[in-house]
Structure 1
Amino acid sequence: MNNKFFPSNFLFITIMFMGTMFSLSSSHWLTMWMGLELNLMGFLPLMNIKGKMLEAEASIKYFIIQSMSSSILIISSIIMYSYTLSWYSMFTNTTISYLIMMSLIMKLGGAPLHFWLPSITKQMSWSILFLILTWQKLAPLFMLSLLNTHYTPLIIISITSTMIGSIMALNQTNIQLIMTYSSISHLGWMLSMVLLNSTLTMMYFIIYIIISIPLMNMLSTNTGNQLFMLTQKNKSNNMVIISLILSLGGLPPLLGFMSKLTILISLVQMKMIMMTLLLLTGTLISLYFYLNMSLMLMIKSYLMIENPKAPKPYNPLIILNLFSSFIIYPLITMIMIYAMTILHKS
């Protein structure tokens, strides 16, 4: 399947999309599991678009990890069914709910179970990397928000993800690996709120996707995937890429800062000061390699930048990223206060 526009790819994309939608629209644990499997079956052929040996190896690794976590999920659900005789019930048995939580964390690539993710993503094309880091996390995040379990292990996983994602990215020279570890770090922020206020988690996730679409598209147009290649001449305006990178790092007044700020406000309101400080420390560490990438892009003289004449389809996303403090922040604040009021009343 060397042709990128092979007709069957449309079928596989549809299967992948429908699998996730199947999981999201289901209230039944068995059908959620079926949706995850359907999504996996659609995604595996897409990983082999170019038909290279490295892609085949990565897709086999991905298949083994996802199958293993799905097996743990369905076995735990069946054990739970034998206790409660209901597929719809929330999980009250602590051991089983921990098992289900760890299987979903493995699917997401969270901190203690993240080792499979970097070994796969460094062999991928940018489009498949984008799908692994965004779309493939949607269903497991949704399922995680439904779990009725203790918050303590999720706090530990959240802090570990943010720290490990930031520290491991410091020594990387491959841009795809940096983006992968950055995604693990951002996952820590999402997991910190997933049981408390899933609206904020989804908002953070959507903002991460809005930043990633133009950023990964622009990085894919570079000559290679190594960090030093950012200094070479390319056709895009580097100040836009720098603004997107710093937005991922969470610098005000960019869009990435807004999502972090809302989660920080919520955590402080819940008196979780230590967790807030540890998440902030992880973000500060990650800011080092974001600034390093920005510096690589700024090294060249301004004369080497060629402004493209054709408008890009993601220009509105870039504008949204730059002016988010005036557009998005008031909206997010209103939604957050509204959600908090409902939670407080209930």
Structure 2
Amino acid sequence: MNNKFFPSNFLFILIMAVGTLLSLSSSHWLTMWMGLELNLMGFLPLMNIKGKMLEAEASMKYFIIQSMSSSMLIFTSIMIYSFNMSWYSMFNNNIMNTMMLLTLILKLGGAPMHFWLPSITKQMTWMILFLILTWQKLAPLFMLSLMNSNIMTIMIISMMTTLMGSIMALNQTNLQMIITYSSISHLGWMLTMIMLNSSLTLFYFINYVFISIPLMHMISSKMGNYMFMFTQKNNTNNMFIVSLILSLAGMPPLLGFMSKLTILIPLIKMKLFMLTMVMLLGTLLSLYFYLNMSLMLMIKSYMMFMLPKNNKNYNSLISLNIMSSFIMYPMITTFIN
């Protein structure tokens, strides 16, 4: 497995994708669990793509956490079946509701059960990090949207997730850790609307993926894994990376701001002012390390006034990011209205 183009990796990628699609296309809780297990079996070999000891340790941690949450998931599903004699029923029992909710939050890496996510992502390659923070969250988010649990519980979890992700990233120098805690903070924003309007959560998730693809690729190929490398010479246009970082921070008029706007407007309309204030506080805290990264690129970089050739692979995504106020606003009004 030392060769990252090893032919069997295509098989593992296919198994991972089929597992997620099986969970997304099913209305049966047992089939969703089977899809999650299939996804896990395809993803674990990909985590060991370079055959390093740290990757093996991280993959074992990931396997233990996911296996524990899957065991709780199938146990809760069987208990629900014993009460209602149906695999398709919603959860009416408060205890079972809470157990299923905590199981899915553990799979997603949300607070207060986020402890396992940073400990494994700092040992991963950027490609695997991207998959953990995006693709691996699709199926649990979909399953979470099908539940009819107590909205107050999920609101408290979303507030804790946003604040924890923002606070824990403040003193980090490892870029993989910063991106991981940033993803935890963004997960809190997605969880706020998962019970009320899952289409807005999907919209936020897609925008996060659009921002993360060029950002992680540019950081991994040009910068390295630590913040001090932002001050070194590089062959890319730093303003592109700055625009992507500020977009993750939610600075207007970039794409990340439009994503947060889609969440804020319904929350204010529903008079959830306390939740809105806490979410904005978490964003304000995370703005500190986003601006720190941006200032290191803009002020301390030797290549500030040099404009090398643009990365043509991501020109369309970067244009969407910068021009989102004019491109995405009609879509936002359609979603909300």
Runs of 5+ unmatched residues, structure 2: none
Do 1:15 and 1:42's aligned partners in 2 also have CA atoms closer than 8 Å? yes
Aligned counterpart, 1:67? 67
Do 1:222 and 1:230's aligned partners in 2 also have CA atoms closer than 8 Å? no
Q: Report the number of matched residues.
A: 336
Q: Which portions of structure 1, spanning 4 or more consecutive aligned residues, are displaced by more than 3 angstroms?
A: 301-306
Distance 1:58-1:74 versus aligned 2 partners, 3 A rule: same
Three-state SS of the structure 2 residue aligned to 1:209 is helix
Deviation at 1:308, TM superposition (A): 2.9
Do 1:106 and 1:113's aligned partners in 2 also have CA atoms closer than 8 Å? yes
Do 1:233 and 1:305's aligned partners in 2 also have CA atoms closer than 8 Å? no
Aligned counterpart, 1:101? 101
**Partner Cα separation in structure 1 for residue 267 and residue 34 of structure 2:** 34
Aligned counterpart, 2:152? 152
Does 1:328 find its partner at 2:328?
yes
The amino acid of 1:32's aligned partner reads M
Q: Deviations over 1:103-132 (max 9, x none)?
A: 000000001000000000000000000000
Do 1:235 and 1:305's aligned partners in 2 also have CA atoms closer than 8 Å? no
The amino acid of 1:243's aligned partner reads S
Deviation at 1:336, TM superposition (A): 1.5
Do 2:91 and 2:148's aligned partners in 1 also have CA atoms closer than 8 Å? yes
The amino acid of 1:230's aligned partner reads F
Runs of 5+ unmatched residues, structure 1: 338-346
Aligned counterpart, 2:191? 191
Q: TM-score, normalised by structure 1?
A: 0.95
Instruction: Give me the CA root mean square deviation.
Output: 1.0
Do 2:22 and 2:32's aligned partners in 1 also have CA atoms closer than 8 Å? yes
The amino acid of 1:258's aligned partner reads M
Three-state SS of the structure 2 residue aligned to 1:111 is coil
Q: Deviations over 1:282-323 (max 9, x none)?
A: 0000000000000111112446746136x5322211100000
Distance 1:155-1:303 versus aligned 2 partners, 3 A rule: closer
**Partner Cα separation in structure 1 for residue 9 and residue 303 of structure 2:** 41
Q: TM-score, normalised by structure 2?
A: 0.98
- 1:121-160 aligned at under 5 Å gives the runs 121-160=121-160
Does 1:308 find its partner at 2:286?
no
Do 1:158 and 1:188's aligned partners in 2 also have CA atoms closer than 8 Å? yes
Deviation at 1:262, TM superposition (A): 1.3
Q: Deviations over 1:147-194 (max 9, x none)?
A: 111111111110000001000000000000000000000000000000
Aligned counterpart, 2:200? 200
The amino acid of 1:137's aligned partner reads K
Deviation at 1:335, TM superposition (A): 2.0
**Partner Cα separation in structure 2 for residue 300 and residue 243 of structure 1:** 15
Three-state SS of the structure 1 residue aligned to 2:112 is helix
- What is the identity percentage for the equivalent residue pairs of Structure 1 and Structure 2? 70
